[in-house]
Amino acid sequence: MDKKRKASPGEEIGTEEEFVAGAGTYVEGSAIHSALEGEISDEGRTLSVSRPNRVSQPGLGVKVIGRIENIIDPIAIVSIHEMEGESARFPITGVNFVLRASNIKKGYTRKIRDEYSIGDIIRAKIVEIKNGECQLATDEDDLGCLKAYSSSRKRCALHKTPTGLKCENDDKKENRKIASDYISVQNA
């Protein structure tokens, strides 16, 4: 690559026919995807993604991209990988990112598991910072799930259909609060 290209988490950046997956990437089928926000490098035909080592400070109203790490109703614990176009590294003292069921969408959400699953990549907005905890919300159209995997077959990416999300391997439909730009990638 002549010019440094940026990649977002989950974005397809190449194929195994052309490259070998390196640091900061993962393979799904024969496609190589970025595991984080950063710059793509293809030294020696090995694709890797790296990000600068700077510490970020979250702020109110900032949109973030992260992964659902754990669900303990009525909250989900989210690890943040990007803040509005920049990589996110937080101090060891840490900031906890929490998504409450009441902040998932407009209207009533009984349980977080009705809308998200562990491993989902989401875009959220920081709506409150208090006592070392950042409250997140996904109640706008551009917020929500960007990439989801089947809750029964973790390696099966869910594809957007007119009736919702489904796994192509077993035709199982699943519900998610998806962002308007949900990433639908073909399984191999």
User: Fold identical between 5-50 and 63-144?
Assistant: yes
CA gap 104, 120 in Å, rounded: 14
* Burial state string for 21-43 with b = 16 or more CB within 10 A and e = fewer than 16: bbebbeebeebbbbbbbbbbbbe
- Looking at residue 100, its pLDDT comes to 95
Q: Which residues pair with 172 in a beta bridge?
A: none
Q: What tens-digit pLDDT sequence spans the chain (188 residues)?
A: 446 788 888 889 999 899 988 888 888 888 898 888 888 988 888 888 887 665 556 678 889 988 999 999 899 999 888 777 555 555 434 567 999 999 999 988 889 998 999 989 999 999 988 877 889 999 999 999 999 888 776 677 888 888 888 887 777 888 899 998 887 654 43
| pLDDT the model gives residue 90 | 54
Kindly tell me the burial class for residue 132, based on how many C-beta atoms sit within 10 Å of its own C-beta (0-12, 13-18, 19 or more).
exposed
pTM, to two decimals: 0.66
pLDDT score of 127 = 94
Angstrom CA distances, 46 to 14, 21, 40, stand at: 10, 6, 10
Cα 101 to the chain's mean position, in Å? 18
pLDDT of residue 1: 47
Q: How far apart are CA 39 and CA 14, in angstroms?
A: 14
The reported pLDDT for the residue numbered 92 is 38
Question: Taking the domain 63-144, which CATH number applies?
Answer: 2.40.50.140
Q: What fold characterizes domain 5-50?
A: OB fold (Dihydrolipoamide Acetyltransferase, E2P) (2.40.50)
pLDDT number for residue 78: 93
Q: Where are the domains of the chain?
A: 5-50, 63-144, 147-174
For position 21, what pLDDT does the model report?
Answer: 87
Q: Are strands 164-167 and 75-83 parallel, antiparallel or unpaired?
A: unpaired
The residue written with tokens 């977080």 in the block is 112
